[in-house]
Copies of this chain bind each other. A is one copy, B any other.
């Protein structure tokens, strides 16, 4: 048997990277030869967490069929968010907390999804069910993912289970979740030396909606104006990306992690769908989305509905 590769989605965020690491460690303990890999370089927030807990970043791959015929997916399931040659390998297992779409297998598989805020909250359950102890550094990375996905427990995606899991993991990791968490989130908002292309592509995902290809990116910041001062070059990068990649609509969600609001910057076709989805009027291609911090729970569902 070849080694099983485990990975999260493209443009990996902290949950995508660390759930691959924590699930691969669990599989190893269960006797499965598995390696955590990544579909992209780690972002600055994730780098902070990996550095803090002294864990190496996973190896970056762009294809997998050249080295294995079996994979496990974490923190995603949709084909267009996965590795380019996902159709050429067998998916043995999925652990995820997103909607299910564009996912199909020929064989029965292990699929574990729960509507919680973070993949690692589910993986913590799997460790307990299998009675496997969690090493300190793995617990720290799992905690980092919960903090990242929940924006320090403020996102509407955050459930009681996520809060309880974070508390348990923080004790194993030996850190204070509030102080460690704010340091980690701030590390991810250092955007000044990033190009517009990097900013719009970081954490961006594609969603088919009503026959159109909708790209939704999200950037966290402690000052929205830092980004809006670069609006012209961001819009230009979004228009170019639409053209080059066949996106019909690009929505960039700029989220203030301190006050838990977002500004949407919108370029492309069907921008009226954005207005309908959030009951806002775009001015100069932007609109304030009060209280919106979660792409998964507060952006994708209303936008999907607006297209239907």
Contact = CB atoms under 8 A, between A and B. Distances in A.
Interface of A: 97-115, 129, 296-297, 300-301, 304-305
The dominant DSSP class at the A interface is: loop
A115 B109 CA distance: 5
B105 A100 contact: yes
A68 to B, nearest CB: 18
Closest 7 CB pairs of A and B: A111-B113, A108-B115, A101-B104, A99-B105, A106-B304, A110-B114, A100-B105
Nearest to A157: B108
Given A100-B103, A129-B129, 12 more contacts: A97-B108, A98-B108, A99-B106, A99-B107, A101-B104, A107-B115, A108-B115, A108-B297, A109-B113, A110-B113, A111-B112, A112-B113
A106 B296 contact: no
Contacts of A114: 108, 110-111
Contacts of A296: 108
Contacts of A107: 99, 115, 301
A100 B106 CA distance: 8
A113 B112 CA distance: 7
Nearest to A78: B104
A129 B130 CA distance: 12
Contacts of A297: 108
Nearest to A125: B129
Contact of A100 (B98, B109, B115, B301): B109
A114 B114 CA distance: 14
Nearest to A114: B110
Contact of A109 (B99, B104, B109, B129): B99
A109 B108 CA distance: 19
A222 to B, nearest CB: 28
A297 B105 CA distance: 13
A296 B108 CA distance: 8
Contacts of A305: 106
A98 B129 CA distance: 22
12 contacts: A99-B107, A99-B108, A100-B100, A100-B104, A100-B109, A103-B103, A108-B115, A108-B296, A109-B113, A110-B113, A110-B115, A111-B113
Contacts of A104: 99-102
A304 B107 CA distance: 10
Contacts of A103: 100, 103
A129 B100 CA distance: 24
